[in-house]
A and B are shown apart, each in its own frame.
Chain A
Amino acid sequence: MAHELAHRILSDLSTAFQRHPNIDEVGFICCPTCQHNRSPVVVENNKLGIETWCLELIFPYAHDKVLRARGRDDRGRKIKVSRSARSLLEATRAVLLVQADCLTAWNIRKELVEAEDLKCTQDLKFAALVLTKHPKSSETFAHRRWLLKQIIQKTTSTSVQPSPIAQASHTNGLVAGDQASSGAAVEQPLNTQHGTKAGGTKLPCDEKLLETELTVCQSSAERYPSNYYAWTHRAWVVENVARCHYKILMKELCDNRHWISRHISDHSGLQYRQFLLTQLATHFRLEDALQDEFLPVLTAEFELLTDLITAFPGHEALWYHRRYVFQQWESVLSMFKCPKSDNSASSKNHTHLQQQHCSEVPVELYTHSASSFSRDRDDSKLHAAVVQGNKKAKVDSTYTEHHTIQTELEFCRNIMATSQDGWQVRLAGSYQHWLQQRILGQDNKLL
């Protein structure tokens, strides 16, 4: 009896999806008992609602079907999925709407895609639907990645252009579970002809696909605060679908700026921002445009952070992001500062300066020596040390004096002096401590 009812409700679901192919959101209607002889499946304005009384009927029924499909028949052979494609589609759909992390059900759907009983685009749509109800489902995102890989494989095997290989990034280790799935990555030769800003090559992927994917990530991130999986997925998409194309990176940076202004404490959102900046750094380094392009980006980043930190006191995420940005800043500048050859004279001077930093040197002197390091071009000895071994000798002075450890320390002092929020003061203090550790660390390296 229960079976027939469950079967009927599943076929109601199928009919709903057939009649309304553009269902984009699903929710459960709280309805503990069945009051009327009416289907629990309701569709209004492309939103799907399922009354909760039926869940305890359909879920065991559908789940049982899913598990049996994975069983082995009497002779110990694996039961082929395509034998009952339609009923398996129904069952997996029901299971996943309730429990999005059922990997068995997703794997059955993968097999149906491979057997061409189910289209990639249809399944992407369904996965997006599941995410509206379960925005933090890691298995759903993993399944999306598998589908995207399938689509990319299909399109790259037909297209002629080679596209740049995906750079190794911090998402590799974090996106666990992908290593297990098959889907061989197509190895492509590194394309040295990156699109320059002026050139603007065609995007190496389907724009619509990319846009859909980013929208899905966005809505998932909105539904659940600090949604680690959504942001990591977004980073994966930028890396593997958009191939870290410069335009996409810049656009994402811009969009993300709006996001973090509205979601201040979203650690994952800021982590994504760091990913974008790392990718941009790599891109610009290859183009030799670090100074012209990247440093302004970082400067803007500093400004943004300063605004947000002062406007919204007491958010740890921002302070940590600032650490990252500062590190990037220093590493870029160090590429120009550090001489390549081992000139003992310069290193001695360098050490001398560092030792000065260590002691309680008055601020003014600190400033003077820092600026003289770059600005005083007539001081040939010091300058020679900088120039030596480096083609691009001149570092624009406007940059080097904008953000140094000293300025950052000053920033901390300002915050600690003006802020009334105790927690903010603590955060500023720990940032200050971190900066001081850096100074010590640099000294230790040289000594």
Chain B
Amino acid sequence: MMMNGSVRSRSEVSEYMEEESLICKRLPKELILRIFSHLDVVSLCRCGQVSKAWNILALDGSNWQRVDLFDFQVDIESSVVEHLSRRCGGFLRQLSLRGCQSVQDRALEIFAQNCRNIESLCLAGCKKITNGTCNSLGKFSHKLLWLDLGSCSLITDNALKALSDGCPLLEYLSIAWCDQITENGIEALARGCNKLQVLIAKGCILNITDDGIRHISSGCHLLESLCVSGCTHLTDGTLVALGAGCYQLRTLELAGCSQFTDNGFMVLARNCHHLERMDLEECVLITDATLGHLAAHCPWLSKLSLSHCELITDEGIRQLGTGACAPEHLEVLELDNCPLITDASLEHLMGCQSLERIELYDCQLITRAGIRRLRAQLPNIKVHAYFAPVTPPPSVGGGRQRYCRCCVIL
């Protein structure tokens, strides 16, 4: 605050210290609280050790609405969580225990009992957590909106049932890599959590099936974002189901779901007009027809990944380029490892004014000349290919050469 390095006499120093403490007293509590509300956990604890007054203010519940313990990870033991929950009580709204592998059910039960106003809870990577935690949450945490249970692989269907019963307001749920979940759990979830907007179920390789998604579709009409990457057992039935119930879908991550075909996407596209981001990496069966459907029905499409979709050809890209999304919305297009793509595709995309990034790794028919022409039309575009010129580090002299658009030097 008032630190300067000059040397002062003793009387001056004591005066100086008095001044400082006066300032401390002069600053109203509300302002100090306001300042503290911006601090992180460690700084808050340190401030709490400065003086009695600061101790009370630092540990005031209002400063502990959002707590993030990610940096501590394995050092966080159950007792810490318990103390924290007692300290924060009803003030705690947001808590992240991501990566805190030592935390167990008992601590979270106490937490749930003490912090009934919790809205956002991240338990990703807390590998020891079992259904008990979800039971506690279902019993006490009725205001829960946001829950991340990624990598908590001991969780089973009963956990989802408990959440379904007790947390009806749930909007965001991640059960990534919880591979014991089956469609029964999903069914329970869909029954109780009708406000669900985001569901992340990637990596639940074996047990997520079309039936599970059908339940979601019938129960969660507000769903905007679904990630089932890696769930290889899903077939077109899933896409049909989504088309039947989830009209609000904006983000769809289907990477690795290699059984999907054009038929499924036809139904999906015809019903879900709000699709913005789609990850279709390794959906190897899809052809240009899918791109046709997307171009025709999804005008908001901004991010599309078709990595490893080996059947896509220039024709599909032509349809995309002339579709409703192309001129203004399409921002990212990933075509890496699509071997049939040639420079013609790049021609078709020249009308996409918003296109920021295009991935062309391993598209061996693309030439440098083709890329050069595209960059001439879309100067802001980032083209990613193996032989794409690497931008040199900013030169010291501020750049001597200037290029006009028709003489772009690659």
Contact = CB atoms under 8 A, between A and B. Distances in A.
B183 interface: no
Interface residues of B, number: 20
Contacts of A73: 71
With a 10 A CB-CB cut-off, give which of A4, A35, A73 has the most chain B CB atoms: A4
Interface string A50-87: 00000001000000000000000101010010110000
B364 A38 contact: yes
A83 B384 contact: no
A373 to B, nearest CB: 73
Given A37-B366, A80-B73, A4 B42 contact: no
Interface string B75-116: 000000000000000000000000100000000000000000
Contacts of A37: 360-364, 366, 385-387
A5 B360 contact: no
B386 A34 contact: yes
Interface residues on A, range: 10 to 19
A33 to B, nearest CB: 8
Interface in A322-343: none
A5 B71 CA distance: 30
A39 interface: yes
Contact of A1 (B73, B363, B387, B388): B388
A39 B361 contact: yes
A366 to B, nearest CB: 76
Nearest to B360: A37
Interface string B58-75: 000000000000010110
Contact of A36 (B71, B387, B388, B389): B387
The SS class assigned to the B binding surface is loop
Interface in B358-410: 360-364, 366, 382, 384-391
Interface string A27-41: 000000011111110
Contacts of A77: 71
Contacts of A8: 361, 384, 386
Given A1-B391, A2-B391, A82-B99, A40 B73 contact: no
Select the residue from B361, B388, B391 with max chain A CB neighbours within 10 A. B361
B386 A5 contact: yes
A75 B74 CA distance: 18
A83 B99 CA distance: 8
Contacts of A36: 364, 386-387
26 contacts: A1-B388, A2-B390, A2-B391, A4-B384, A5-B390, A8-B361, A8-B384, A34-B386, A34-B387, A37-B360, A37-B362, A37-B363, A37-B364, A37-B385, A37-B386, A37-B387, A38-B362, A38-B364, A39-B361, A39-B386, A57-B390, A75-B42, A80-B74, A82-B74, A83-B73, A83-B99
Instruction: Pick the 4 closest A-B CB pairs, nearest first.
Output: A34-B387, A1-B391, A2-B390, A37-B385
Given A34-B387, A39-B386, A80-B74, 18 more contacts: A1-B388, A1-B389, A2-B390, A5-B386, A8-B361, A8-B386, A36-B364, A36-B386, A36-B387, A37-B363, A37-B364, A37-B366, A37-B385, A37-B386, A39-B361, A40-B386, A57-B390, A83-B99
